[in-house]
Amino acid sequence: MRRNGGHPLLELSDEAIVADVVNGNREVFRLLIDRHKRRVSGLGHSFFHDTDEVADFVQDVFLKAFRSLPQFQKRARFSTWLYRIAYTSALNRLNRRKEYKSLSENDYESAYRTPEEDHIKALLRDAVRQAVTELPEKYRICVDLFFFYDRSYSEIEMITGYPVNTIKSHVFRAKKLLREKLEGFVEGSIL
């Protein structure tokens, strides 16, 4: 059974689409944009406060990725390679301004919660958001990529350039700091 309405192009892996684009079928690059735009945009929102700047950032990332496709060597997943481009682009932009907004500062709402659950979730989200914003930047970046983007340590290494042991240390220390900051607020936390 075919997914996504049964269109064979939609079933292709990212790597197969990359090969197709490199071989001259530039139109299918749109599939990669459609698949990854939301996450690249989310990463952009982690770094930039302005919606227009995020839109420019996303466009810039995909333009850089398109131009660099012939250099994609399949040592990592395409998404990891793309997020490395996005992360590097964001850092380059930030070097001009020196600010980083953690992904945890974004609002995530669900239509299926009761008002009481919404209130509890909002209190918890605000407490976690505040605690994460107080982490050192290098910890926030690793925490965002590990927990919010579900990236492995090796993928975070490829994205940030930090060694795996440093990433593990940053995540461990961040969790310890978050646990201390949120002690008493959340009993039985998974932190």
For 50, 74, 77, 78, the CA distances from 71, given in Å and listed in that order, are: 31, 9, 13, 11
Tell me which residue of 78, 82, 22, 25 sits closest to 58, measured CA to CA. 82
The per-residue pLDDT for range 39-94, each reduced to its tens digit, is 999 888 888 778 888 999 999 999 999 999 988 877 788 988 999 899 888 888 77
Judge if pTM exceeds 0.75: no
Quickly list H helices, 48-182. 51-68, 78-94, 115-133, 137-143, 153-160, 164-182
Helix, strand, coil abundance in the chain, percent, nearest 5: 70, 0, 30
For residue 139, give the 3-state DSSP assignment: helix
pLDDT tens digits, 105-134: 444 444 455 677 666 777 777 777 778 778
Q: Specify the amino acid at residue 92.
A: N
Instruction: Give the other-Cβ count within 10 Å of 166's Cβ.
Output: 16
Tokens 């918890």 label which residue?
A: 124
Beta-carbon contacts of 66 under 8 Å, excluding residues fewer than 6 positions away, are 21, 29
Across all residues in the chain, what is the average pLDDT?
A: 79
pLDDT of residue 95: 67
- Identify the structural domains of the chain with CATH numbers, from first to last: 13-101 (1.10.1740.10), 108-191 (1.10.10.10)
Question: Residue 184 — very low, low, confident or very high, per pLDDT cuts 50/70/90?
Answer: low
